[in-house]
Chains A and B, each alone.
Chain A
């Protein structure tokens, strides 16, 4: 059974269609990259999958591990294993990163009938994951994303992903704003989560991320449709030639 199965997904905002029939299947263990021009609908796709109600789904279906995803609330989707690393992570003043992450982790654990982690075990887990991402533990006591640099925010997203251990991770331009060292560290963090039970969907504009996280498939989204799919070489081709040479949408994957 695929981890994610999107069929003919159509969605938009009031009076405007953005996704016009997206089809995509991710099997366990696979890493897929989505590329495409600005405004083509990549973030919209990510947000619709996560359950953002700004967008109205007008057609199609999505299954996460066989479950009807569109039927679930955003927090249920999260608990069921869908994680979105935001293109623009949100600041929550006055709420410490550790409090926030502990609440999130315990909500997910509760959903799976597991007991809450106590403070000691939580701290141990945090230390371990922060080390993986070369993050200072002083971030734990700072308010969520408040005053974080662009790169620190992105790293914080990956930290949360590592802690919450999702089945499907969607990373929306996690590479943008990262310096060269940070890119390597973040990519390392993502690669360490690569595994036979997990699916990863990367949204990116640049080949440089894909040098570190080598995708199994690359898709091009344009005007709300996947117009071309291929293997990692497609990304290299796009890097060299841009999007102009691509023709009208064809059925894919």
Chain B
């Protein structure tokens, strides 16, 4: 394949479409972090004692930690005292139904295309929307409740199902796990909670939409999903943020637990503001996502399409504890302009006959730097464990970079790990072939990139796959000329 760079060069990117700010009164705590702030967050949320203890333990531990330096990303030190840790849209009274949500907020979600309104029942998506730090509305709660599915904001679950929260919070990502997860454990303000009881197949896609609106605010949401024996749930999260010149911190934690024969599919379309073409502004996205296949024959799949954020630091992982359990990671990560992505997964094989599949597609354009970092760890007892890893990188232009760091640790001799990797430049030959058939350059680029990502897109629920394709197109618009 010709790698001529003659016609491939980086040009301007299209404007970020989701960069508006919603004018809403917010209740915010002052900037900075100390025990008083944490106590105040907990007090405002009217939390039980155990949660405050969890937060304080995390905070005290966090004070002893330093930010991780091993990732292939560059950014100035973050001043953690210069961040607002709690901001909530002001509302006059407690919300009982969608009709009571601030119309301005609903308009924002309409602009974002979030199917929040009840008419969207047909779309079969239940949505929990988190605005800044607080969960605003959850659709279809009643319908789900009939089946015993608990789905809603984390804060609410703390009130209605404190025992479940207490049992599982920190059970997959302990409060001391890593710098950002620990920070999250101390200050998280809301997020989503989902519990699917034994034998229930959740009849619709569950979805959370995250939005950072307020200035100088960090977003620290916490998501916990539990699938009991034989349960099934498919969950999708989407996220956007306004355009701002300064960088904003997002440090979320997601924990998944799957019991015997349970399956959790977790899909993410991440579109936080990536910063402008010169690399100014954008979200710093430091996220800890981990699932535990606790039961036999359980299965956890992560599918992510990461197009946004100035920095993405994210390794959705699976602990394969139950025998015959399956972990999957399908990822498309885009780094355009000055975006940096260091993302991948960890598959920890503990049980016998555990299997994991990793498919990573990295796309770099402009001055973007894209790193795949993955660990496949097979413990001594994991007889007959299998891993298959495929890692492909696509470069648009010659000023971007793709890097791969696959680590394999095998402690069991009956186990196998297979790794395939490729790096290619988007081919002049391919582009010319398309153009010779009458297809315009931008369409050709989109087509080739979507083809490159196909194995990942096919893992997404249909309508989100379409959205992801469009998003990728918009994010790359003008990057080949």
Chain A residues within CB distance 8 Å of chain B: 50-54, 73-75, 77-79, 83-84, 86, 89-95, 99-101, 103-104, 107-108, 111, 143, 160, 164
Contacts and interface: CB of A to CB of B under 8 A. Distances in A.
B436 A107 contact: no
A50 B436 CA distance: 7
Interface string B451-470: 11111000000000000000
Contacts of A92: 430, 433-434, 447-448, 451
Interface stretch (B1-9, B59-67, B142-150, B335-343): B1-9
B447 A103 contact: yes
Nearest to A82: B436
B452 A75 contact: no
A90 B430 contact: yes
B453 A94 contact: yes
B439 interface: yes
B454 A111 contact: no
B435 A75 contact: yes
Contact of A53 (B7, B433, B443, B455): B7
A95 B451 contact: yes
A52 B437 contact: no
Contact of A103 (B429, B436, B443, B455): B443
B441 interface: yes
B405 interface: no
Nearest to A54: B4
B438 A75 contact: yes
How many B residues are at the interface, by size bracket? 20 to 34
B450 A111 contact: no
Q: Which 9 A-B pairs have the closest CB atoms?
A: A94-B451, A94-B454, A104-B437, A95-B451, A78-B438, A107-B438, A74-B435, A90-B433, A108-B438
Contacts, number: 82
Given A100-B447, A103-B443, A160 B453 contact: no
Contact of A107 (B7, B428, B443): B443
Contacts of B452: 93-94
A90 to B, nearest CB: 4
A108 to B, nearest CB: 5
Contacts of A95: 447-448, 450-451, 454
Contact of A90 (B427, B450, B453): B427
B106 to A, nearest CB: 36
Contacts of A93: 451-452, 454
Contacts of B80: none
Name the residue in B6, B427, B451, B454 with the highest tally of chain A Cβ atoms < 10 Å from its Cβ.
B451
Given A92-B451, A94-B454, A86 B439 contact: no
A143 B438 contact: no
Contacts of A99: 447
Interface-central residue, A51, A54, A92, A108, by most chain B CB under 10 Å: A92
A104 B427 contact: no
A164 B439 CA distance: 12
Contact of A75 (B2, B430, B440, B447): B440
Given A54-B2, A95-B447, A75 B455 contact: no
B392 to A, nearest CB: 9
A206 to B, nearest CB: 25
A104 B451 contact: no
B447 A104 contact: no
Interface in B413-451: 427-430, 432-441, 443, 447-448, 450-451
Contacts of A89: 433
Contacts of B440: 75, 107
A154 B435 CA distance: 18
A111 B437 CA distance: 12
